[in-house]
Structure 1
């Protein structure tokens, strides 16, 4: 379990990929990684910036965002504690293609690009981990396109919550998801009010419980299979 007061060292050691490293590799990671803090609503990184770090969420919540020419925001995904992101741009050595914004006060770990590439050169298990990471990320985004184009809002909210339970991308998530209704709306591309309606529909179906401090998932497989309608 990842808690808000976890240390940087413990957060790194808890990462799936760090457990694949040998002692020398882990020692270099611990020597090079550093932490930054971003308040709610602040930018962790901006579109167009050079990629200097691989980023892991220690505590808080991050959304991957972009804006149209008219200023309309589009949220691609949310990243809870335990998530690491930015590997695609690091591998391509390109500038960042999206903004990442703190949904709440957030601590992140930053592993310098030079250390990231050194791990690629020296650790076959780390390379295999990244292949799996990219494959899972691709599947996630294909699912998001399908959800956005084909599904009603109730089902989009259900799939949004279910997508948080990916043991490879989000290893720290537990059955009590600490998301507000506003955050669910942001991550599923709808308003807070409409997200609240959808959550009530899903609660009536016995799939979740609107609990103090978050949303308690009762039937994860049911959320993944859910196909409803926009009728509340």
Structure 2
């Protein structure tokens, strides 16, 4: 079942939402009364592999956090080809742009593997904007980090060889501000990596083998473990 940006069939669970809020930079800066109010409004949803977290063109009714798993953000080309823009790793929140501009989603959000998401209603997001200076500061920094991420992706897509493109693409999924979960492990297939990096599976596999041979990461079945994040960020320079 797909997750659409409507709250009429959302089931609520607790546990993991609390853990995510403890790690979320914006939540750490809220006073206890404000945080309790916000937590009471957030719901949680399980999303299966390949299912939609949000749909391009649908109303943006929630700010979305990734509790566990990975969400890829993608669009369709005029020819109907899916183009992956980026991935949102566990600990990250996305969709604030559509909420701030009050416009429909500009991309599809699709779960990569079993994923759990947190959904903050638009009304709660707007309430935070109106009542929390700390939250506004966080959003400014998050938008700046996101802009820097996309600028770097465009530059290394045009200038770097495939091995460096894969290295930099993977490194963006471990931005400590955007995804403050602390894990250096990514539960993805090599096909997922190819889609995230915008290349063929064969080319992505070759790149991963080179990066593994250089001690930057370790490829396991359905998982990639990062061994040297700083080297991965600088690979190809």
Which range is displaced more, 171-180 or 73-82? 171-180
2:202 alignment partner in structure 1: 193
Distance in 1 (CA, whole Å) between partners of 2:78 and 2:223 is 34
Q: Secondary structure at the match of 1:131?
A: helix
How large is the RMSD of aligned CA atoms in angstroms? Answer: 1.7
1:204 alignment partner in structure 2: 213
Is this contact kept in 1: 2:186–2:223, CA < 8 A? yes
Distance in 2 (CA, whole Å) between partners of 1:8 and 1:219 is 29
Distance in 2 (CA, whole Å) between partners of 1:6 and 1:23 is 18
Distance in 1 (CA, whole Å) between partners of 2:219 and 2:126 is 43
Residue 38 (str. 1) matches residue 83 (str. 2): no
State how 1:68-217 maps to structure 2 within 5 Å: 68-211=77-220, 214-217=223-226
Pick the aligned partner of 2:76 from 67, 88, 93.
Answer: 67
Distance in 2 (CA, whole Å) between partners of 1:43 and 1:175 is 25
Q: How many Å apart are 1:223 and its aligned residue?
A: 1.4
Is this contact kept in 2: 1:6–1:58, CA < 8 A? no
Residue 226 (str. 1) matches residue 227 (str. 2): no
Query: How many residues matched?
Result: 224
Is this contact kept in 2: 1:44–1:102, CA < 8 A? yes
The change in CA–CA distance for 1:53 and 1:137 in structure 2 (over 3 A counts) is same
Distance in 2 (CA, whole Å) between partners of 1:70 and 1:176 is 34
The change in CA–CA distance for 1:216 and 1:106 in structure 2 (over 3 A counts) is closer
> What TM-score does the superposition give when structure 1 sets the normalisation length?
0.91
Q: Unaligned 5+ residue runs, structure 2?
A: 1-13
Is this contact kept in 2: 1:160–1:188, CA < 8 A? yes
The change in CA–CA distance for 1:149 and 1:6 in structure 2 (over 3 A counts) is farther
Distance in 1 (CA, whole Å) between partners of 2:32 and 2:230 is 38
Q: How many Å apart are 1:192 and its aligned residue?
A: 2.4
Which range is displaced more, 191-200 or 138-147? 191-200
Q: How many Å apart are 1:36 and its aligned residue?
A: 1.8
Is this contact kept in 1: 2:51–2:110, CA < 8 A? yes
